Structure 1
Amino acid sequence: MTFKEDFLQLVWKYQYFEKAKLRTAAGDELKIIQVGFHNQSEGPDFRDSVVVIDNVILHGHVEVHRLASEWKQHAHGGNPAYNSVVLHVVWEDDQEVLRNDGTAMPTLELKGLIFLDIWRNYERMLDYKSVLPCAHGLKDAPEIVRFSALEKALVERLQEKSNLILEILRSTTDDWEETAYRWLFTCFGFKANSQAMGELASLVPYRILQKHRDQLPVLEAILLGQAGLLPEDSEEPYVQHLIREYDFYRRKYNWDMPMKRQHWTFMGVRPSNFPTVRIAQLAAILSNAPNLLQSVMQDSHDLPSFKKLLKVKPSDYWQYHYSFGKPSERPSNSGVSSTALELLVINYVIPLWFAYGRYFEEPDWQERCFDLLQEISAENNHIIRRFQSHGWPAENGFDTQGMIGLFKNYCQPKKCLQCKIAQVLIKSESK
């Protein structure tokens, strides 16, 4: 059976092997006093371990490998971080390992010692045909374990998203107002046009739009013009006005290189999500919010207040159009839909709060993120339905965002042994 190093780490962590009359590869008597703390960063796999070898108590670290020869392959011998390793735990002792002083590294070979049930449970999990490898026992996992795994996956997901925000912050030389504005545009592009929206925001500084906040047509003209979505001419008076306005401000601000229409995705996108519609909605939001950062970080604190901030009607033209020159018979755009609003709170507001808390080292923002997520309805997508079909219902946005994090970072790449649910299932099934 093939296995990865993390399986052996799990075996050592929970001591899933016969420990009676343990001996090192050199034949010395071995007793394990303290397993150590699992190290998830660089350095030995387990820190602050305590073992007794040949009646000598040793305090130090434990390194785990499939093969003893991997010590040399990974160049641990020349790394000072590994000088305090007191035990090398391996599946197979295929090569003697020497310390820097020339003495042999004490080695424990696990081949033939691991509990058979652990092997079976691990193999069953990896070979399970479901995209959720632990689906067979998911509903039986203790609720506290599922919550712990969910919370961990959620925090990791928020860290990933907040990393993107902090990258924008660095590019704006720590300008939080500009960062909040650019992140809003990125999120408003949803999947199809997020990159193009982010590029548009970088072409039009927030401070310029603030100058014209009380002139909605000017905001539309600037944004749609820089997006490369304004037609060259039109028979519609309002569009003619936008063209003239953009031409004036393009000259005023020396904008020579607007985006091109091919930067944007229309094909396969619902009309309500066309970039023209989303840009018109963004213009309305910016016109309605005196200061975007203050509105997000101070003035709004719960789901109703964010819905009020983000659900504003665009100009009259865009209430009857999805694109230029093609009017609809009925009102087509009354603002962002309820579903899209909640997605924006999930993808825009909460990561921004989380990033802000990380940057200023204010952990209360994380709790605020959790509280706001619990106000949001549970999402309904193929990932959530998979968990629900195996007996794990989702009640709110906290649950669904955690499930998405679990699926993408653990289930899909089959990093089962790094997930608390799988660890507990293997442990409980082996009893």
Structure 2
Amino acid sequence: MDFNEDFVQAVWKYQYFEKRDLETTHGQSLIIQKIGFQNNHEGPDFLESQVVLDKVEFFGNIEVHVKASDWQMHRHQEDSKYDSVILHVVWEDDMEVFRNDGSRIPTLELKGKVLLDVIRNYRRLARSRKKLLCGDFLPEVQSIIKFSMLEKALVERLHEKSTLIRNQIQDTAGDWEEVAYRWLFYCFGFKVNSDAMLKLAQTLPYKILKKHGNQPLVQEALLLGQAGFCYPSEPDDYTAFVRREYEFYKKKYSLPEPLYPSEWKFMRVRPTNYPSIRIAQLVAVLNQSSNLFSLLTSSVSKIEDLIKLFQVTPHPYWQHHYQLSKESKRQQPKMLSNQMIQLLGINFVVPLWYAYGGYIDDSSWKERCFDFLQQIPAEANRIIEMYQVEDWSPENACDTQGMIGLHHNYCNPKKCLNCKIGQNLLRPRKS
């Protein structure tokens, strides 16, 4: 059976092999004193290691491969970062390897030395036919380990989500009101129109909208116009008003050219999720306060606070329209549902808080994120169903966000041996 590099790294990291009378492939006696710290970035796999070769101590780094020839395949011999490697750990030693200066690197071959229990456990994971490779074996894993892995996956997911926010912090020179405004627009795109919504916010700064805080119709005209929506072939009275206001303020504020209609997606999008409706809802939300970020950090601590803030009704025009100048036979208020506001709590508020906590180096914001997510009911989607099928049911959004992160970063790419659950299933049984 073939082994991947993750397996060989795990065997080295947890020392799942027979260590008595160890020798390199060239007969040097080998004593492992420090395995090193696993490196998840460029360079050798384990850093700050210490070994004794023929009674001589060596300090440096360790590189792990399935086959020794992977060293040459990855061109490590040409990279000075690998000159500090003191030991090459491989499953199979199929060729000698050398540093950039031509010196030979001692090699430890693990084939024939790995504990049989570990090999059996790896095989049963690798041969699983389930979407979750560990599905049949989850009952063997203690709840504390599963909980710990969900928490790790959640933190990693929040860190990933906050990357875009950190980019906006740089673009706005640390203006958190502008950052919150842009992030709100991005999240109101609900994936399909997120990029266009972000671009819209970038072309119409929050400081301009705030100048018209008591003029929601002007705000709506500015946003709809900058989005490129106010030029239908047969405008009704409201559309004509929007166009007139937009053209006046576009010139006054020297706004850039509006977005192209082709940048927005309407096909296969439910009418209630049309970007024109989302813009109308955004105007209603922004009129709750002239300082969005301050409101979110000082007045929102529970999901009920966010529901109160976001459960707003757009201008009456949108009760019987989904787009400008296109009247709908079905008339209804275009309010955000509680479920949609809960999603905004997950995807808008929590990542914003998390990024802010990192920016000011205050870990209490991380705990605030966890507390907030625990108030939100568990999400329901195809990813969560995969875990529920294996009798692993989430209690709240804290669990479901962890499961989504677990799926994207570990289960789907089959990185089982980087996961605490997979690592637990790999370990040998106690004798």
Q: Do 2:274 and 2:322's aligned partners in 1 also have CA atoms closer than 8 Å?
A: yes
Is residue 85 from structure 1 mapped to residue 85 from structure 2 by the alignment? Answer: yes
Match of 2:196 in 1: 196
Taking the aligned partners of 2:72 and 2:233, their CA distance within structure 1 comes to 70
Alignment of 1:30-429 (within 5 A): 30-77=30-77, 79=79, 81-98=81-98, 104-232=104-232, 236-255=236-255, 257-328=257-328, 331-427=331-427
Residues 65-87 of structure 1 show CA distances to partners (whole Å, capped at 9, x for unaligned) of 22223334445456554454332
Gap change, CA 1:196 and 1:100, over 3 Å in 2:
closer
SS in 1 for 2:287: helix
Structure 1 residues without counterparts, runs of 5 or longer? none
- TM (normalized to structure 2)? 0.92
Cα RMSD after superposing both structures = 2.4
Taking the aligned partners of 2:246 and 2:102, their CA distance within structure 1 comes to 75
Deviation at 1:46, TM superposition (A): 2.3
SS in 1 for 2:192: helix
Residues 279-321 of structure 1 show CA distances to partners (whole Å, capped at 9, x for unaligned) of 0000111122211111122232221222222221111112333
Deviation at 1:350, TM superposition (A): 1.0
Deviation at 1:98, TM superposition (A): 4.1
Taking the aligned partners of 1:156 and 1:256, their CA distance within structure 2 comes to 37
Taking the aligned partners of 2:367 and 2:111, their CA distance within structure 1 comes to 45
What amino acid is aligned across from residue 304 of structure 2 in structure 1?
P
Deviation at 1:119, TM superposition (A): 2.6
Taking the aligned partners of 1:291 and 1:379, their CA distance within structure 2 comes to 30
Taking the aligned partners of 2:130 and 2:260, their CA distance within structure 1 comes to 44
Structure 2 residues without counterparts, runs of 5 or longer? none
Taking the aligned partners of 1:199 and 1:430, their CA distance within structure 2 comes to 57
SS in 2 for 1:392: coil
Taking the aligned partners of 2:277 and 2:306, their CA distance within structure 1 comes to 20
Deviation at 1:223, TM superposition (A): 0.7
What amino acid is aligned across from residue 354 of structure 1 in structure 2?
Y
- TM (normalized to structure 1)? 0.92
Q: Which piece of structure 1 moves more, 296-305 or 79-88? A: 79-88
Q: Do 2:272 and 2:334's aligned partners in 1 also have CA atoms closer than 8 Å?
A: no
Residues 189-211 of structure 1 show CA distances to partners (whole Å, capped at 9, x for unaligned) of 10221111111111211111000
SS in 1 for 2:282: helix
Deviation at 1:413, TM superposition (A): 1.0
Gap change, CA 1:272 and 1:29, over 3 Å in 2:
same
Residues 198-250 of structure 1 show CA distances to partners (whole Å, capped at 9, x for unaligned) of 11111211111000111111111111111111244657443332232223222
Taking the aligned partners of 1:100 and 1:197, their CA distance within structure 2 comes to 50
Taking the aligned partners of 1:134 and 1:277, their CA distance within structure 2 comes to 43
Q: Which piece of structure 1 moves more, 96-105 or 305-314? A: 96-105
What amino acid is aligned across from residue 365 of structure 2 in structure 1?
W
Taking the aligned partners of 1:102 and 1:178, their CA distance within structure 2 comes to 55
Taking the aligned partners of 1:101 and 1:208, their CA distance within structure 2 comes to 61
Q: Do 1:118 and 1:430's aligned partners in 2 also have CA atoms closer than 8 Å?
A: no
Q: Do 2:118 and 2:428's aligned partners in 1 also have CA atoms closer than 8 Å?
A: no
Q: Which piece of structure 1 moves more, 379-388 or 47-56? A: 47-56
Q: Which piece of structure 1 moves more, 232-241 or 402-411? A: 232-241
Deviation at 1:45, TM superposition (A): 2.0
Percent of aligned positions with the same letter in both sequences? 51
Taking the aligned partners of 1:99 and 1:272, their CA distance within structure 2 comes to 62
Taking the aligned partners of 1:67 and 1:251, their CA distance within structure 2 comes to 66
What amino acid is aligned across from residue 175 of structure 1 in structure 2?
D
Taking the aligned partners of 2:102 and 2:325, their CA distance within structure 1 comes to 81
Taking the aligned partners of 2:79 and 2:379, their CA distance within structure 1 comes to 47
